[in-house]
Amino acid sequence: MNKKERLEKILRKTKKVVIKVGSAVITKEDEGLNYQVLHNLTYEINRLVKAGYKVVLVSSGAIACGRAKLNYYKKPISLTEKQALAAIGQAALIQAYEDLFQQYQIHVAQILLTAEDLSLRERYLNAKKTLETLLKWNIVPIVNENDTVTTESIKFSDNDILSALVSGTIEADFLIILSDIDALYEEDPRINPKAQKIREVERITPEIFSMAGSKPGRLGRGGMYSKLLAAKMVTSMGIPVVILPGREPLVLEKFWSGEEIGTIFWAEERKLNMRKLWIKYYIKPEGKIYIDEGAEEAILKRGKSLLIGGIISVEGNFPKGACVECINMKGQILAKGLVNFSSEELLKLKISREKINKEVIHRDNLVFLEP
């Protein structure tokens, strides 16, 4: 099966789509929103919605909007200034989408998230139910990071990662990343203009990551490396990803019709249930547990839960139910999991006679990490 046939087969089964658009795509530097690009984007999403697709739009641009509105281009800017600019710009951003979608009789909903909203189980499930209800009502959710209240400790690294997490949350069929760079290249085309495009990627390996370069985007925090991180996360969930040139007119129609455009990352076989994917990707570890060779063999080779007897030491101050990393004697991070005891309780159990029988992390709450 060639690439076009393979894509056609996937698109025939596609019903739910997440579209991520970056600041550099929908804004003009120092001028605010690029309304021509927004007109094109909303027109194409309208066509998808009218064709029966469920669409979630993850849109950057609030801070860039706020800067343009106030003509505020001082660099660098503090976190507090970014939060204030986001508050000003988010209003303009959502109003623009509201007005543009209204001409197609499509309602939109604003959803602002922090990493904490998706890492705490109850809030994650609430966000999931809200998104699913909006899609059921044929409303287009417009998702952005809640920059006005976020801090470094609860910040997504960028909206590429946010779009990946949203894709997993709604169990999307496709993630489309609209970028100012039109595809993945063998090298960064901003450094080497002769770099060749990569049209399809079977698996995101270290060699693929080495092609990304380290420069961030023109206006946003993310660059190609960030997009590859998002793609690796999403493809491991069994969801394909495509990076497309975001400012090109009718880019979604061209992609749907099989035109050779952008870079597609084919989905891998999904090996984890959604709960384990949530533990693996959504939760930030609050501590570390160092384990001996016997515990390593038990959890990796025999699929056992982690018992207190296999723990060498505990690092960090964390409550019961927190996410921790499991580290072997060589210093390698083997797994993440949700603990049944606080760090204080674990330290007490280590010297207790009952320690051998105490289950620290149940195997259903333990996820192995790739080396």
Last residue of a domain, one of 245, 271, 297: 271
- C-alpha dihedral sign at 245, 249, 255, 258: negative
Domain residues for the domain of 358 are 285-368
Side-chain-side CA neighbours of 64 within 13 Å: the count stands at 22
Q: Give the C-alpha distances (Å, rounded to integers) separating 23 from 33, 139, 240, 309.
A: 9, 23, 23, 50
Task: Tell me if 294 is assigned to some domain.
Answer: yes
Question: Could you tell me if residue 32 is inside a domain?
Answer: yes
pLDDT, tens only, 148-207: 776 554 345 578 999 999 999 999 999 999 999 899 998 877 788 888 999 999 999 989
CA dihedral 143, 148, 149, 153 (to 10 degrees): 80
The CATH number that applies at residue 320 is 2.30.130.10
Cβ neighbours, 10 Å, residue 347:
13
* Domain final residue, candidates 271, 297, 324: 271
| Same domain assignment for residues 31 and 165 | yes
**pLDDT tens readout for residues 205-231:** 989 988 886 554 444 444 888 899 999
Domain total of the chain: 2
Mapping DSSP to helix (H, G, I), strand (E, B) and coil, where does residue 130 land? Answer: helix
Please say whether the beta carbons of 357 and 342 come within 8 A: no
- Alpha helices per DSSP H over 51-176: 62-70, 79-102, 115-119, 121-136, 159-169
Residue 277 domain flag: no
Tell me if residue 138 falls in helix, strand or coil: coil
pTM of model > 0.85: yes
Q: Are residues 206 and 312 in the same domain?
A: no
Query: pLDDT of 40-95, one tens digit each?
Result: 999 999 999 999 999 999 998 888 888 888 888 887 788 888 889 888 999 999 99
Same domain, yes or no: 15 and 121: yes
List the beta strands (DSSP E) in the chain: 16-21, 27-28, 32-33, 54-59, 108-113, 140-145, 174-179, 184-185, 197-198, 200-201, 241-245, 263-265, 287-291, 306-307, 311-315, 323-327, 333-338, 359-361, 366-368
Instruction: Please state, in angstroms and rounded to a whole number, the distance separating the CA atoms of residues 318 and 320.
Output: 7
